[in-house]
Amino acid sequence: MSADKSEKEMAFLQELYVATDWGERFAELIDEHVELPKKGRILYVAAGTGGHAMALLERAGDDVTMVCVDESEECLELARVKAMVIKGEPEFYRTQLESLQFDDEQFDLVVGDASLVAPERLPEMISEMARVCKMDGTVGLTLATSSSFGEFFSIYWEALRSSNLEEHGHDVEELIKELPTISDVEALAEREGLEAVTSWTTIEEFDYESGEEFLNAPLITDFLFKNWLSSLGSEDRERVTKEIERIIDEERHDMDFSLTLKATLIVGRK
């Protein structure tokens, strides 16, 4: 599990197994629906290892500069390496997502990736993104929204029950409820003074040939499980994950197990 891995190892896993598949689903929404400024500054919040941020900068004109922030210095180190081979000189800073270390109204476009950010952090993250955006600038945020991961939550509940851990059933209910609806996120954006708030959603699937493949996927074990199984102790977690594998293999009937994601982009103008 991720608790046994260093920050450097987690950064490499994010680069190899998260940015290349999971991240691309969200990046495509930004590429399709967010217009880049012809000049000025772009801030990319939760830029990770920087792949999408660098792609945006290469598409932008010569009069556009990029600043990338993330909470992982190790991810930013990988992003700095990528930046050495592209045009422009992006800046990189480590900062908390709820406390961006910039003055008000500094950027013409602020985009953020909250796809792996705990939902309870969203209000402050959106507030900070809006704060540092210039008047008439654009704010765009990607995230997973309500009704995502339903297949897993059903299996998780069953695994808890078969492991005699029914008292953790409320944890599954909380995981389901904490995923915001699209209207919830639009309301958060409007509360921060953003106008013409618009959203786009795509239904994405991640397919696994077996329970073992599902549990061995770094996206699952090292990233999503970090939140989903956080209430379980190490022994209980091991027991439950074995049950999850068994249930997936019993129920898939020689078909792939599909994990469904509702990938959403919210965009507003300040």
The per-residue pLDDT for 72 is 97
Exposure string of 161-194, with b = 16+ CB inside 10 Å and e = fewer, is: eebebeebeebbeebbeebbebeebbebbeebeb
Domains and CATH numbers, the chain: 2-269 (3.40.50.150)
The per-residue pLDDT for 3 is 53
Residue 260: strand pairing partners: 205
Report residue 71 as tokens. 């909470």
Mean pLDDT in order along the chain per 10 residues (270 residues): 77 94 97 96 97 94 94 96 84 96 97 96 98 98 97 96 92 95 97 97 97 96 95 94 96 88 98
Indicate the helix (H) or strand (E) that contains 150.
helix 150-162
